[in-house]
Amino acid sequence: PETRRWGVKAAPDPTDRTRALVFGGWDSREQYNDLYVIGHHNRKLVSKQLEPTGTPPSHRAGHSMTTTTTMTTTMTMVTKTTKRSGAAVLVFGGSACVGGPYKFYNDTFALILTNDGKCSWSVVETTGTKPSPRAQHA
């Protein structure tokens, strides 16, 4: 990311363990929902912003982020349903403050990464009792 942030989270890129995926955060002026891949090339740290398709998580900080090796999601758009499989990064919870009290989240999103270099966000629909909304958790 181009600004210094707190509450940002990172997880190993499940398709290339020499890189990390970095999402969100806050820089004392605004929250973010952008996604970067960070790695190294010729002994230099390299950062590139990714532009996934799908519905990303809202702007947030203090969320948790973890890697899974395989995940299948079904995305339903207005006219068609698409099924995608690949390694995934899951984002859960976090908080945002925009001109008022903090809002805490208990939603879950999957970033599906395929071996062809494409990635897409989707909402993860869960069953059972959800954890309470939270931020700054492990």
Per-residue model confidence (pLDDT) at position 96: 93
Two structure tokens written together for 111: 């970033």
Strands 20-26 and 31-41: antiparallel
Q: Which tens digits make up the pLDDT trace of 90-131?
A: 999 999 987 778 999 999 999 998 877 789 999 998 889 999
Average pLDDT on 18-30 reads: 91
pTM: 0.84
What distance in Å separates the CA atoms of residue 5 and residue 56, rounded to the nearest whole number? 19
Would you say residue 28 has pLDDT above 80? yes
